[in-house]
Amino acid sequence: MPDMYKKYKDEVVAALTEKHNYKNVMQVPKLKKIVLSCGINSSAERDTFQEARKQLAQITGQMPVITKAKKNVANFKLRIGQLNGVMVTLRQSRMYEFLDRYVHIALPRVRDFRGIPRKGFDGSGNYNVGCPDISVFTEVDPDKLKYPLGFNITLVTSANTDEEAFDLLKLMELPFAE
């Protein structure tokens, strides 16, 4: 059992039930999934997608998929079927293991880190945060990186409001900026 899941079961459920007066344990918000996505310029070299895929696979332990455009966008010179990014969805134990590594190992390695912003909530209990440099993860060797790579992390929760999601993520030790 991952440490973050154990923390959720032992401490977070009790604290959230106490604070929000939930009558049933099933009402307590929880993490559903974590989605890591990396958008890549469509005019980039062909091996950029394979490099990004390899780096995200090292971080997550799961092979990402290469995404394709679903619509034509003239301003971005994007056509249907053109490659435009890489993404991976983490669930259950891999999700909690990634969150543990992100909070306790990767974020402290960010230069001049003062907390993650609070403005990443979307109104329905999900949180988005960007990671401008993939090399903050210990799995990635910065000397072997061919291209600078950043990605977006989406934490999908079962919370109904942003306040409930904030309380959940704060109790899961995400370091929000004051």
**CATH number given to 3-12+41-171:** 3.30.1440.10
**Residues 155 and 172 sit within 8 Å (Cβ to Cβ):** no
CA 145 to chain centre: 21
pLDDT beyond 70 at 43: no
pLDDT at 177: 84
> What's the pLDDT at 54?
87
- Residue 42 binned pLDDT confidence (cut-offs 50, 70, 90): low
pLDDT band, very low/low/confident/very high, at 82 (cuts 50, 70, 90): confident
Residue 4 has pLDDT above 90, yes or no: no
**pLDDT over 90 at 32, yes or no:** yes
> Mean pLDDT over residues 96-115, rounded?
86
Query: Please, what is the Cα angle at 155 between 113 and 169, to 5 degrees?
Result: 65
Residue whose entry in the numeric block shows the structure tokens 């983490």: 90
Q: How far is CA 35 from CA 18, 99, 113, in A?
A: 29, 11, 22
Cβ neighbours, 10 Å, residue 79: 13
List the chain domain ranges: 3-12+41-171
With 70 as the cut, is the pLDDT of residue 10 above it? yes
Facing residues of 88 across strands? 36
